[in-house]
Amino acid sequence: MAYRIMIDPGHGASDPGAVYEGRTEKDDVLSLGLAVGDILQSYGFEVLYTRTEDIYESPYRKAMEGNMEDVDYFVSIHRNSSLYPNQYNGVETLVYNQYGRAAEMARNINAFLADVGFRNLGIEERRNLVVLNSTRMPAVLVEVGFINSQIDNEIFDTRFEAVAYAIADGIAKTLYPENYS
């Protein structure tokens, strides 16, 4: 039986997430989330989404959808932002705690994203995030570079397919490590 993965492209509709020079987090992560889901389906995973279009649901509602669908893993996709443009760059993945399958998945995703060219900022515990503390399954929140970083946006735009594969491969390596020796 295939693992069931819920992909959560963050934000949506009236909640654009981070915005930089007309670029919105909600749009970046929706296109990336759909691409990651397509790759995971091609690998044999069953993929569900919290959204496939520009709609808004609260983080709590998204976590409850994951619980109601009884998925095995919950992967929320976001873009980071900083106070000043080009202040920071890199990827980080947030987890409820730094132990167990979610933390392993976070490390694998970050490692694959670093291979694409992003700076690996590591994983960070965030116990106050609803999509991490209200899901019954292991959950990660991937910050795919800073939306206000020229370095990260160039990687995101010019290596988009590789970025999508990096996230999918980080998930797959966690669940089927024998395929990644």
* Fold classification of 4-179 (topology level): Aminopeptidase (3.40.630)
Please give the average per-residue pLDDT across 122-140, as a whole number.
98
Which letter, b or e, does each residue of 146-170 get, where b requires 16 or more Cβ atoms within 10 Å of its Cβ? bbbbebbbebbeeeeeebbbbbbbb
pLDDT in tens, 13-57: 999 999 999 999 999 999 999 999 999 999 999 999 999 999 999
pTM value is: 0.98
Q: Where are the domains of the chain?
A: 4-179
Q: Give the model's pLDDT for residue 181.
A: 75
Q: Rounded distance, CA 56 to CA 15, Å?
A: 7
**Beta strands 73-80 and 139-146: pairing type?**
parallel
Q: pLDDT of 160-170, one tens digit each?
A: 999 999 999 99
